[in-house]
C-alpha cells in the first residue's frame, strides 16, 4: 500500500501537466495519401482551416453608423497578437481599370464613405464575386470578418488566447448580435466543452457510484476500497499519457468513464468473493488467499481480454483511435495491478469481518432470492429462454440494417447550442464554411494561361453548383472574369471569361504587377498549378463521399491532360469516417479471434467455446440494433462504443465461467454448479452492472450528442450483457450439456 501511495504522489505532477489538442491531420499517419494531398494544398496555397469568422446582421449595414462600428471592431481585432490578417469590408479592395492598367482601391475609405452614395456602394459590393458569399450576404444585410491565424501560432493554447480576446472585444455588443465560427474556433470550443464535461462526469459518476456502493455494502470500506482503486487508476493512466508524449483528444476523452467503471467492477467481484469466503467460515487470511487463487486469475483473464479488445484498435490507421486503444488497454491493466496489489493489503488491515454489512444491507438478501428464481427458470425453461434470445437477436438484427456510416466536420454538438446556432448563421446568411478544394496541375510553367482551361473550369463550377449542398465556387476563372469585366463596357451586366490565351496572360501580368493578394491564393508562382474552392454545407461524410464519387469521373474527363487532386478539410473529415469504420470492423474481428483462441486454450472444449462466445455477441447486436432504430450514425465518436460493448460483455462471461469451474469441481455435476454460479456470481454481475449503468448513465445529460448516445448505448449494452450472462449463458449449458472432466483442469 505504501508503494502505491508513493507512486501516486509521484504521478500527480506529470498528470497535472496533461495537454489537450484537436488537429484533424493528427488523425492520419504521415504517409497517408489523403494527408499527402492535403499537404500539397498547404504547401502551395496555405491551409484552409486557419480562419475564424465573426459575423452579424443589420438591416442598415450600409449606413454611416454601422460601417463606423465595423471599422472600430476591425481595428481592435487587428491588435490580437496571434492574428496574421483581418479581412473585413474595410480592407476589401475593388478591381478597377483606367483603360490600360488595373487599380485596386478600397471599397471603403474613412474620409469619404460618409458622403458616399451608400445605396450605390451596396449594389456594387454585393455584385463583387469575391465579397458576396465571403464577407457579405447576397442582400447586403449581413457581413463577416475573417481572422487568419498565423501558421506558427495555430495551436490549441494560442487559439484559446484568441478566443479569450474575442470574448473581451465582443463583450460590449454595442447593439449587435455577434456570431463566431470557423473550424479552428469550433475545434477549441469543442475541446473546452469536452474537458469541462470530463471533469464534471468523473465527479458525478464518482458520487453516484459511491452512493450505490453505500447502498450495497453499507460500510465505509465498501466505498473506500473500490474508489481508491479507480482514482489511482485514472491518475496513473493520465500520467502515462503525459510521460509518453500523448495528450487528451477527441477519442481519449472517453477513457475516464471506461476506467472508472472497469476498475470498480474488478474490485466488486473480488470483494464479493472475499465476503463469500468469510461467510462460509474461513478466517481473514484464508479468505484473502481464496479470493486471490480463484478470482485473481479470473480478473487477470478479464483484464487481458478487455485490454486485447482495446489494443486491437492499435492496428487502425486512424491515429487517435490507435492512441485510444493503447492507452485504454494500458489503463485496464493498471486497474488490475492496483486491484491485485492494493485490495488484499487493504482487506488484511480492515477490522471488520466482511466488507458487506449483513445487519443493515438489504440488497444482498433481495438479490439472493431473485437469483434463486432466475436459476430455476434457466433449469426448467432453458429452451424457451434460448428461443427468446433468438427472437431478440432477430429483432435487433432488423435494426442493424438502418445503421449508416456518417460523420460531420461540426459533429456531436447539439443543434440548440450557441456553437451550432452561430455556424448556421454563416451557412444561412453568407456562405457555408466547409471547403472542398481542387488542385489542378498542368505540369507546365504558364500552363494555366489557357482560355480552354478556364472554360473547362467554368464547366466544373456548373457541375459543382448543381449540387444543393455546394453554395459557392471560386477560382482563377472567377478572377479572370472580374478583370475582364472591369476592362469591358461599364454597363455590361454579365461577367464572362476572356476570349483568348493572350488576354488571360495579359490580365495575369497586370495582377502580378499590382501584387494582387487574391492572385496568389488561386495560382502558384510559375502559373503551372491553380486552386478551385467549393464551399459546401456540413452535409456529412456519407453525402460528401457520394458527391465526390459522382463528380470525380466527370472532372477527370474534363481534365484528361491535367492532374486533379480533390482535398480540403471537408474531404479529410469524410475520408476519416470511412477509415474509422474499416478500422473498427477489423479490430472487432481481431478481438473476437483473440478471445476465441484464449477461450479454446482455457477450456479445450469446442462446446464451451461456443457457450462462452454467443453471450458476448448478443450485446454487440443489441447496441448496433439500437443505433439503427434510433438513427444514430457510426462516426468517429460513436465507433468506439462497439469496443466498449465487447469489453463489458466478455468481462461478465469470464467471471461467470471462472466461478462455474470452481463450483463444478466442488460438486462434480453441471446442474447444481450452474445454480450456485448463477446465485453467487450473478450477485456480483448485477452489482457491477448497476455500477456501470450509474457510471455511464450520467453521460446521457451531455451537451454532446455522441457522449449522450454513448451513455444510452453503453447502458443498453450493459443490460444486454447482464441478460445474456444470467439467462443465455446457463441456458446454453443446459442445452449443449458439454462433457467436463473433474479435476482435469478443463472447464
pLDDT (tens digit, 9 = 90+) per residue, 435-462?
A: 899 999 999 999 999 999 999 999 999 9
| 383 and 462 part of one domain | no
The answer to whether residue 579 sits within a structural domain is: no
The answer to whether residue 392 sits within a structural domain is: yes
Q: Provide the CB-side half-sphere exposure for 550 (13 A, CA).
A: 11
| 335 and 196 part of one domain | yes
The residue from 141, 156, 187 where one domain ends is 187
The answer to whether residue 505 sits within a structural domain is: yes
Which residues, listed in sequence order, are joined to residue 136 by a DSSP beta bridge?
Answer: 132, 143
DSSP assignment of 152-163? GG-SHHHHHHHH
* pLDDT of 637 above 90: no
* pLDDT of 361 above 70: no
| Structure-block grid coordinates of residue 168 | 473581451
The answer to whether residue 155 sits within a structural domain is: yes
The residue from 141, 167, 187 where one domain ends is 187
- The CATH number for 139's domain is 3.30.70
Residues with Cβ within 8 Å of 703's Cβ and at least 6 positions away in sequence, in order, are: 193, 197, 413, 414, 417
Question: Mean pLDDT across the stretch 247-271?
Answer: 76
Residues with Cβ within 8 Å of 326's Cβ and at least 6 positions away in sequence, in order, are: 310, 311, 313, 314
Question: Mean pLDDT across the stretch 414-418?
Answer: 79
pTM, to two decimals:
0.76
Q: How many domains does the chain have?
A: 4
| 337 and 483 part of one domain | no
First CA to last CA distance, the chain: 35
Q: What is the pLDDT of residue 20?
A: 65
- The CATH number for 629's domain is 1.20.1640.10
Q: Is the dihedral of CA 347, 353, 354, 356 positive or negative?
A: negative
Do 363 and 287 meet the contact criterion of CB atoms below 8 Å apart?
Answer: no
Do 266 and 303 meet the contact criterion of CB atoms below 8 Å apart?
Answer: yes
Q: Spell out the alpha helix ranges (H) of 218-318.
A: 220-243, 255-279, 284-291, 297-311
The answer to whether residue 164 sits within a structural domain is: yes
pLDDT confidence bin for 58, thresholds 50/70/90 = very high
- Please return the burial class of 81, using the count of CB atoms within 10 Å of its CB with bins 0-12, 13-18 and 19+: exposed
Q: Is the dihedral of CA 673, 679, 680, 685 positive or negative?
A: positive
| 83 and 178 part of one domain | yes
Cβ neighbour number for residue 382 with a 10 Å cutoff: 19
The answer to whether residue 276 sits within a structural domain is: yes
Helix (H) or strand (E) segment spanning residue 455: helix 451-465
| 198 and 318 part of one domain | yes
Q: Spell out the alpha helix ranges (H) of 62-182.
A: 64-78, 118-126, 156-170
| 394 and 436 part of one domain | no
| 273 and 331 part of one domain | yes
Calculate the alpha carbon distances from 147 to 56, 536, 661 in Å. 15, 20, 66
Would you say how long the chain is, in residues? 747
| 173 and 237 part of one domain | no
pLDDT confidence bin for 413, thresholds 50/70/90 = confident
| 226 and 252 part of one domain | yes
Domain that holds residue 334: 1-31+190-361
Task: Give the pLDDT confidence of 132-144 residue by residue, as tens digits.
Answer: 888 999 999 999 9
The residue from 187, 207, 242 where one domain ends is 187
The phi-psi region of residue 503 (left if phi > 0; otherwise alpha if psi is between -120 and 50; otherwise beta) is: alpha
The answer to whether residue 578 sits within a structural domain is: no
- Alpha-carbon distance of 140 to 467, in angstroms, equals 24
| 353 and 217 part of one domain | yes
| 559 and 659 part of one domain | no
The answer to whether residue 585 sits within a structural domain is: no
Q: What is the pLDDT of residue 743?
A: 45
| 481 and 629 part of one domain | no
Do 61 and 69 meet the contact criterion of CB atoms below 8 Å apart?
Answer: no
317-333: b or e for each residue (b if 16 or more CB lie within 10 Å)?
A: bbbbbbbbbbbbbbbbb
Amino acid at each position: 500500500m505504501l508503494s502505491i501511495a508513493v507512486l501516486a504522489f509521484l504521478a500527480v505532477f506529470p498528470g497535472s501537466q496533461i495537454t489537450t489538442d484537436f488537429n484533424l491531420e493528427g488523425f492520419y499517419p504521415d504517409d497517408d495519401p489523403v494527408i499527402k494531398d492535403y499537404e500539397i494544398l498547404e504547401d502551395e496555397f496555405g491551409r484552409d482551416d486557419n480562419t475564424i469568422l465573426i459575423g452579424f446582421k443589420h438591416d442598415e449595414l450600409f449606413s454611416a453608423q454601422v460601417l463606423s462600428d465595423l471599422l472600430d471592431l476591425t481595428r481592435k481585432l487587428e491588435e490580437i497578437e496571434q492574428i496574421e490578417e483581418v479581412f473585413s469590408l474595410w480592407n476589401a479592395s475593388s478591381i478597377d481599370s483606367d483603360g490600360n492598367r488595373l487599380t485596386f482601391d478600397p471599397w471603403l475609405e474613412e474620409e469619404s464613405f460618409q458622403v458616399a452614395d451608400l445605396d450605390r456602394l451596396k449594389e456594387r459590393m454585393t455584385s463583387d464575386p469575391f465579397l458576396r458569399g465571403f464577407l457579405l450576404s447576397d442582400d447586403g444585410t449581413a457581413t463577416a470578418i475573417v481572422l487568419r491565424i498565423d501558421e506558427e501560432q495555430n495551436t490549441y493554447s494560442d487559439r484559446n488566447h484568441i478566443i479569450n480576446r474575442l470574448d473581451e472585444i465582443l463583450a460590449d455588443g454595442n447593439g449587435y448580435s455577434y456570431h463566431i465560427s470557423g473550424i479552428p474556433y469550433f475545434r477549441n470550443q469543442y475541446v473546452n466543452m469536452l474537458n469541462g464535461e470530463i471533469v464534471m462526469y468523473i465527479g458525478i459518476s464518482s458520487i453516484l457510484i459511491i452512493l450505490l456502493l453505500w447502498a450495497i455494502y453499507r460500510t465505509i470500506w465498501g466505498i473506500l476500497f473500490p474508489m481508491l482503486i479507480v482514482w489511482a487508476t485514472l491518475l496513473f493512466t493520465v500520467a502515462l499519457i503525459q510521460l509518453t508524449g500523448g495528450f487528451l483528444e477527441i477519442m481519449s476523452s472517453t477513457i475516464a468513464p471506461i476506467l472508472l467503471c472497469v476498475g470498480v467492477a474488478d474490485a466488486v467481484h473480488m470483494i464479493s468473493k472475499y465476503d463469500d469466503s468469510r461467510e462460509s467460515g474461513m478466517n481473514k487470511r484464508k479468505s484473502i488467499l481464496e479470493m486471490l487463487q480463484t478470482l485473481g486469475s479470473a480478473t487477470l483473464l478479464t483484464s487481458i481480454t478487455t485490454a486485447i479488445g482495446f489494443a486491437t484498435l492499435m492496428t487502425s490507421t486512424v491515429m487517435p483511435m490507435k492512441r485510444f486503444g493503447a492507452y485504454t488497454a494500458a489503463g485496464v491493466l493498471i486497474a488490475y495491478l492496483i486491484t491485485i496489489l492494493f485490495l488484499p493489503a487493504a482487506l488484511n488491515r480492515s477490522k471488520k469481518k466482511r466488507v458487506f454489512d449483513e445487519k443493515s444491507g438489504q440488497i444482498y438478501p433481495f438479490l439472493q432470492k431473485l437469483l434463486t428464481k432466475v436459476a430455476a427458470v434457466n433449469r426448467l425453461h432453458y429452451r424457451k429462454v434460448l428461443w427468446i434470445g433468438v427472437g431478440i437477436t432477430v429483432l435487433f438484427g432488423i435494426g442493424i440494417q438502418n445503421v449508416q456510416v456518417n460523420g460531420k466536420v461540426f459533429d456531436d454538438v447539439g443543434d440548440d447550442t450557441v456553437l451550432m446556432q452561430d455556424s448556421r448563421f454563416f451557412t444561412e446568411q453568407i456562405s457555408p464554411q466547409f471547403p472542398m478544394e481542387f488542385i489542378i496541375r498542368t505540369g507546365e510553367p504558364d500552363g494555366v494561361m489557357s482560355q480552354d482551361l478556364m472554360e473547362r473550369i467554368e464547366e466544373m463550377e456548373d457541375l459543382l453548383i448543381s449540387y444543393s449542398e455546394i453554395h459557392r465556387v471560386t477560382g482563377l476563372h472567377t478572377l479572370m472574369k472580374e478583370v475582364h469585366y472591369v476592362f469591358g463596357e461599364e454597363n455590361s451586366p454579365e461577367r464572362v471569361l476572356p476570349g483568348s490565351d493572350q488576354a488571360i496572360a495579359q490580365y495575369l501580368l497586370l495582377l502580378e504587377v499590382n501584387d494582387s493578394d487574391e492572385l496568389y491564393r488561386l495560382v502558384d508562382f510559375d502559373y503551372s498549378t491553380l486552386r478551385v474552392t467549393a464551399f459546401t454545407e456540413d452535409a456529412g461524410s456519407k453525402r460528401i463521399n457520394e458527391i465526390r464519387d459522382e463528380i470525380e469521373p466527370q472532372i477527370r474527363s474534363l481534365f484528361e491532360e491535367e492532374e486533379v487532386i480533390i482535398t480540403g478539410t471537408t474531404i479529410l473529415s469524410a475520408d476519416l469516417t470511412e477509415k474509422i469504420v474499416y478500422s473498427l470492423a477489423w479490430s472487432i474481428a481481431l478481438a473476437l479471434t483473440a478471445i476465441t483462441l484464449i477461450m479454446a486454450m482455457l477450456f479445450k472444449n469446442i462446446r464451451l467455446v461456443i457457450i462462452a462466445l454467443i453471450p458476448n455477441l448478443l450485446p454487440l447486436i443489441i447496441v448496433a440494433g439500437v443505433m439503427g432504430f434510433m438513427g444514430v450514425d457510426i462516426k468517429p465518436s460513436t465507433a468506439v462504443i462497439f469496443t466498449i460493448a465487447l469489453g463489458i460483455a466478455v468481462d461478465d462471461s469470464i467471471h461467470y465461467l471462472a466461478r462455474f469451474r470452481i463450483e463444478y469441481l466442488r460438486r462434480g455435476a453441471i446442474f447444481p454448479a450452474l445454480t450456485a454460479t448463477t446465485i453467487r456470481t450473478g450477485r456480483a454481475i448485477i452489482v457491477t452492472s448497476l455500477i456501470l449503468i450509474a457510471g455511464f448513465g450520467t453521460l446521457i445529460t451531455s451537451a454532446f450528442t455522441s457522449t449522450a448516445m454513448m451513455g444510452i448505448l453503453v447502458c443498453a449494452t450493459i443490460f444486454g450483457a447482464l441478460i445474456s450472462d444470467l439467462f443465455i449463458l446457463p441456458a446454453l449449458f443446459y442445452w449443449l450439456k458439454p462433457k467436463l472432466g473433474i479435476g482435469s483442469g478443463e472447464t
